[in-house]
Amino acid sequence: MGSEVAVDEAFIQAPEHRPKPTVTEAEGIPTIDLSRDEEEVVREIGSACKQWGFFQVINHGVPAEVRRRIDAADRAFFALPLEEKRKVRRDETKVLGYYDTEHTKNVRDWKEVFDFTLADPTFVPANPGSADHGEEVSTWTNQWPENPPELREACEEYGKEVLKLSQKLMELIALSLGLPANRFSRFFKDQTSFIRLNHYPPCPIPHLALGVGRHKDAGILTVLAQDEVGGLEVKRKTDGEWIRVKPTPDAFIINVGDIIQVWSNERYESVEHRVMVNSEKERFSIPFFFMPAHYTMVKPLEELTNEQNPAKYRAYNWGKFFTTRKASNFRKLDVENIQIHHFRVSE
């Protein structure tokens, strides 16, 4: 990204886009030690999912060397000249690869990214407007840059480890909901999960920009590695205040996605979060977005609904939902981007 910034004047004048001050980091999200007694861990995860929608995990089993290698390769890639990075730039046809916001007229999202999927190729509906099981599919294929040469291996190795962690977390979440540990395992086949390498350069006007605006994650769950600079903020459910997540060395930050909100029939909720930029330091982060197969029909689980607690959502096809959301990266939509509230049953 360049040093000169073209700022959208309307954005500057809109006070609703200006981030609220954060409250103390000391009141941040729970930290859970996964090496402790399983019953205790399940209880803590259930409480964190219900009260926060976010938690951090330590002693998670992902080797420190794997994390070190992807961190080094990540920094080496984003240090390359812009023209080199743009050789693997994503577009409407090649939806994976590099993207930067330098060409935009505002600084709403101050970052550059590199996306890759765990399954290569990843299968998605060929026609998202009528996605269904058995529908013709198309494929998304990763674009790997020539430099740095170690990037691909580091990314693929990291992906395997964070997938194992995600599957373990889903077992613990299932147990916390009173379900069998393997209740969600069938959804992991043919997954559409992807990993994003984020780079947030120092921003000269941090009071006017966000690294990522307020949003919720659409998938199952997100596993985030962030560096010591930090910047992630979570909207606290109890009072709507924004809480800065203080970086914890070697920890991963976990958040419940929209799919878990639907599966659990809102026992657990996906929570809004955002990323603040820094005027002096660059920031790196690596989110893993855990997502099911494109043919998955997402709906409240039968075990968690009854006459007293009926299903709060109609079933929706994940492939249609995901590819429609992905298309908004490349063209402006005439309507609001698809959200789970569009499938909520009126009370």
Q: How confident is the model at residue 214 (pLDDT cuts 50, 70, 90)?
A: confident
Given a cut of 70, whether residue 203 has pLDDT beyond it is yes
pLDDT value for 16: 45
Query: Which residues form the domain of 120?
Result: 29-343
pLDDT value for 28: 73
Give the mean pLDDT of 106-113. Answer: 72
For residues 2 and 175, the model is more confident at: 175
How far apart (Å, rounded) are the C-alpha atoms in residues 195 and 267? 27
pLDDT value for 120: 95
Given a cut of 70, whether residue 335 has pLDDT beyond it is no
pLDDT value for 92: 81
36 assigned to some structural domain: yes
How far apart (Å, rounded) are the C-alpha atoms in residues 296 and 258? 14
18 assigned to some structural domain: no
1 assigned to some structural domain: no
Do 99 and 113 meet the contact criterion of CB atoms below 8 Å apart? yes
Q: How confident is the model at residue 141 (pLDDT cuts 50, 70, 90)?
A: very high
186 assigned to some structural domain: yes
| Span of 44-53, 200-209, 281-290 with lowest mean pLDDT | 200-209
Side chain identity, residue 212: V
Give the mean pLDDT of 161-190. Answer: 97
Q: What is the mean pLDDT of the chain?
A: 86
Given a cut of 60, whether residue 17 has pLDDT beyond it is no
How far apart (Å, rounded) are the C-alpha atoms in residues 284 and 274? 15
pLDDT value for 151: 98
165 assigned to some structural domain: yes
Q: Which stretch of DSSP H or E encloses residue 288?
A: strand 283-290
19 assigned to some structural domain: no
Q: H helices within 114-200, ranges in order?
A: 151-176
Given a cut of 90, whether residue 277 has pLDDT beyond it is no
How far apart (Å, rounded) are the C-alpha atoms in residues 144 and 149? 9
Q: Which of 323, 290, 341 is nearest to 132 (CA)?
A: 323
Q: Environment class of residue 68 by beta-carbon count within 10 Å: exposed (0-12), middle (13-18) or buried (19+)?
A: exposed
316-317 and 194-200 strand pairing: unpaired
* Assigned token pair, 257: 């996605």
**Domains in the chain, number:** 1
pLDDT value for 116: 98
pLDDT value for 150: 97
Sign (positive/negative) of CA torsion 318, 324, 326, 328?
Answer: negative
95 assigned to some structural domain: yes
For residues 250 and 209, the model is more confident at: 250
pLDDT value for 126: 77
Given a cut of 90, whether residue 96 has pLDDT beyond it is yes
The percentage of the chain sitting over the pLDDT mark of 70, rounded to a whole number, equals 82
Given a cut of 50, whether residue 73 has pLDDT beyond it is yes
| Span of 54-68, 141-155, 268-282 with lowest mean pLDDT | 268-282
CATH number of the domain to which 271 belongs: 2.60.120.330
Most confident among 98-107, 148-157, 244-253 (mean pLDDT): 148-157
pLDDT value for 325: 78
Given a cut of 70, whether residue 327 has pLDDT beyond it is no
Give the mean pLDDT of 144-153. Answer: 97
pLDDT value for 8: 43
139 assigned to some structural domain: yes
Chain center to CA of 316: 20
Given a cut of 90, whether residue 18 has pLDDT beyond it is no
Residue 32, Ramachandran bin (φ over 0: left; ψ between -120 and 50: alpha; else beta): beta
For residues 135 and 177, the model is more confident at: 177
137-140 and 297-298 strand pairing: unpaired
